[in-house]
Structure formats: C-alpha cells, structure tokens
Structure 1
Amino acid sequence: MCEKHRTESAREPSAVARCGCVGPCKPADARRAVELAVTERCRATHVPCDPDALSDALLVTSELTTNAILHGGGVTDFHVDVVGPGVSVSVSDGSDRLPVAVSPVDQQGRWRAGGRGWPIVCRLAHDIRVTDLPSGGKRITAVMPLP
C-alpha cells in the first residue's frame, strides 16, 4: 500500500453488478474519459486546464486500469468525476488482493520489469481509497488535484 497516503478498506453497503465492465475497460478509453471530464470542467468554469495536472491524472488513470487488467482479472467498473479542486477516478476489478509496491530490484540485484505503477499512483494522487466490494473484488479511487 502507499506509505504517505491514507488508504482505507471498507465494505460497501450496496451490491454492484459484476456482469461486465461499465464504462471504459481499456486504459486508452479511460484516459479519454478523464480528459473529456477535465476539459469540460475547464470550459464550464472558464479556467484554463493545467496541462501538468491533466497529465498526472491521465498517468494515474493508465496505471489503475492497467493494474486492474494485469493483476485483478480486468476492469469491472470505471467512474470519473470532477469534484471541487480535483478529479476522482475509480477503477474496480475482480481481485480481493490489495495493491503493493515491490522493490524495483530482485534478490540478485537485477532490475525488474514493471512494478512501478502503484508507486506512481501513490506519488501523484492526493487521496487514495481501496473499498472491498460485497460481490467480491475491490474499487480503487484516486483523487488528483486540479489547480
């Protein structure tokens, strides 16, 4: 889990349909949904979008959806919402396993391929929550600041 961020695990009271992905299931589709939500907010508030903040939000979105595909059996639900001064991205998958950061170097001192996604999420997100889903699996919600 993240060392610097508050990450919690709690049971959700209502059932969630798990018959298939709701919304974007691929990282590219999820990034497009986040970009659209953020740019619509910028247009509506007549405030220019911060390209660095948007880039961070897109990177976190890619990492969460990719991790759901690689380690969670696929994306089962996706939601993006611009709330207050940030963008909230929620990705659900079918695994009950919590995300962990692994050392980039193995026991023999060799660099590992992969393993950098969760630390990227932990570094860029302002708030991260992991919620157990009653029908199994989990939802990870990350909030990234939008200046």
Structure 2
Amino acid sequence: MCEQHSTESALEPSAARYSRHPCPCRPADARRAVEQAVAERCRATHTGCDEDALSDALLVTSELTTNAILHGGGVTDFHVDVVGPGVRVSVSDRSSDLPVALAPVDQEGRWRAGGRGWPIVCLLADDIRVTGLPAGGKCISAVVPLT
C-alpha cells in the first residue's frame, strides 16, 4: 500500500461531490472524460492547463481503470471532478480486494510483466482512498494535483 492510502467501510454520498460521466468501459474513455473535465475547468476559470499535470492525471486514470478491468472484474462506476487545485478520479469495480504492489522480480529472480500500476498511482496522487461498497466491490478515488 502507499502512504496516502486509506480505507473506508461505506461509500460516501457522491451526488454532491462528483461530476457524473457515463461509466467508461475502456481506459481511453476514462481518459477522455478526465481531459474534458480539466479542459472545462480551465475554460471556466480562464487559466492555462499544465500539460505535465494533465499527463499525470491521465496516467493515474489509465492505471485505475486498467486495474479495475484486469483485477477487479471490470469498471462498475466512474466519476471525475476537478476539485480545488486537483482532479479527483474515482473508479469502482466488483472486487473487494485491496490493491497491492508486487515486487518487480518474482521468487525465482525473473522480471514480472506488469505490476507497476498501483505504485504509479501512489507516486502521482496526493490523496488516495479505497472505499468498500455496500453491495460488494470497492471504489478507489485518487486526487492528482493540476499545478
């Protein structure tokens, strides 16, 4: 687990906190939703968008949605909202298992394919929360700074 990680037992009410976008089936759809939310915020506030920060947010989005597909039984819900100086991405899936970071090398000394997604999320996001859902599964929310 990363240091910013926290767990909660029930999903916080989301209607007032998140902009709702159709649930993406693919990481590319989720990235487009994040790009759109950030672009709308930049237009509304007449501020420039930091391309490096946006790239970090898109990478976190890709990792969270890919992990939900590969390890969580698929994306069941998706929210994105630009909050303060960052963008919050929330991805829900069917698995109650907490994310783990695997060592890059297995017990026999062979390099693993994959296993770098969760450490990337932990490196780039300021606030990460894993929330258990009442009907099963989990929601992972990560806030990525935009400045």
Calculate the TM-score normalised by the size of structure 1. 0.91
In structure 1, what is the Cα distance between the partners aligned to 2:104 and 2:5?
23
Q: Which residue of 2 aligns with 1:114?
A: 114
For 1:28-107, what aligned pairs fall within 5 Å after superposition? 28-107=28-107
Aligned sequence identity (%): 76
Instruction: Tell me the matched-pair count.
Output: 140
| Unaligned segments of structure 1, at least 5 residues | 15-21
In structure 1, what is the Cα distance between the partners aligned to 2:114 and 2:92?
21
Confirm or deny: 8 A CA contact 2:127 2:143 kept in the other structure. yes
Q: Which residue of 1 aligns with 2:145?
A: 145
In structure 1, what is the Cα distance between the partners aligned to 2:57 and 2:127?
12
Letter in 1 for 2:120: I
How far the C-alpha of 1:6 sits from its partner, in A, is: 3.7
Letter in 2 for 1:72: G
Calculate the TM-score normalised by the size of structure 2. 0.91
The list of structure 1 runs, each at least 4 consecutive aligned residues, that deviate by more than 3 angstroms after superposition, is none
Q: Which residue of 2 aligns with 1:18?
A: none
Q: Which residue of 2 aligns with 1:134?
A: 134
Going from structure 1 to structure 2, the CA distance change for 1:139 and 1:44 (only over 3 Å counts) comes to same
Of Structure 1 and Structure 2, which has the larger fraction of its residues in strand?
A: 2
- Per-residue CA deviations over 1:17-76 (Å, capped at 9, x if unaligned) read xxxxx5212100000000000011111111100000000000000000000000000000
Q: Which residue of 1 aligns with 2:124?
A: 124
